[in-house]
Structure 1
Amino acid sequence: MRSKISLYIMAAFYVMAGINHFINPDIYTGIMPPWVPFHTELVYISGGVEVAGGLLLLPSTTRNIGAWMLIGLLLAVFPANIQMAINYYEVGHSMFWLTLVRLPFQLLLIWWAWKFTK
């Protein structure tokens, strides 16, 4: 039962986060590393992958695919999390510490998704 609750929480988290990419794309384009091209397009693509991955977690027949999609996404967006920390550091943002906490938290999210690849 606990794993079902965890699954539903994870699916809802990614679907809502993905939808937010379409509602508030500027949040995400603002943390894209400058060397990455097509910021807006990649924000929409990553949002779509989040929504799709979250939804694919729900049926047991596609759960493995959804979990691996989310793991790939988490790895792909890691440079944006680093860029966010750099941006916050450069402007002396009071929440800079939170960006540092977020970096290893990404590993926890990968582990959580990996639990559903089996």
Structure 2
Amino acid sequence: MTASQRSATLLSGLLIGAGAAHFAAPRQFDAIVPRSLPGSRRTWTYASGFAELAVGAAVAVPRTRALGALAAVGLFTAVFPANVKMAYDWRHRSTRLRAIAVARLPLQAPLILWALKVSRDARRR
């Protein structure tokens, strides 16, 4: 397995794992759905979990990897407001939890760059 295949496999695993977590423990995700979104928070939790599963599956398959990785870029961008909401909502929690919530914010940038690299690598093959 090449380095680019390993990278794609890891990205796919991250997305599929995160997507599955939305169904296994939805309450924690419901809490970070921005209130400004219409409808039920649980619906948004399940929809975002399904999106992560679908994008992860697309990244896993070599034929759809380039497009799937670009979809991951969109997904990582789209969930950023939820991470901001989490950081704001957790501002009065313990130092450890505040640090976790704030650390998620800059983490989006390397995730986006990683997905872009996976997409570029897939197009080169």
Same fold (TM over 0.5): yes
Q: Would you say the 8 A contact 1:18–1:48 is kept in 2?
A: yes
Q: CA RMSD in A?
A: 1.2
In structure 1, stretches of 5+ residues that fail to align are none
TM-score normalised over the length of structure 2? 0.87
1:7 is aligned to 8
2:63 is aligned to 61
Is residue 25 of structure 2 the alignment partner of residue 24 of structure 1? Answer: yes
TM-score normalised over the length of structure 1? 0.92
In structure 2, stretches of 5+ residues that fail to align are 121-125
Alignment of 1:75-90 (within 5 A): 75-89=77-91
Shift of 1:93: 2.8
Counterpart secondary structure, 1:72: helix
Shift of 1:4: 1.5
Residue identity (%) = 33
Q: Would you say the 8 A contact 2:7–2:118 is kept in 1?
A: no
Q: Runs ≥4 in structure 1, deviation > 4 angstroms? A: none
Q: Would you say the 8 A contact 1:49–1:69 is kept in 2?
A: no
Q: Would you say the 8 A contact 2:4–2:118 is kept in 1?
A: no
Letter in 2 for 1:116: V
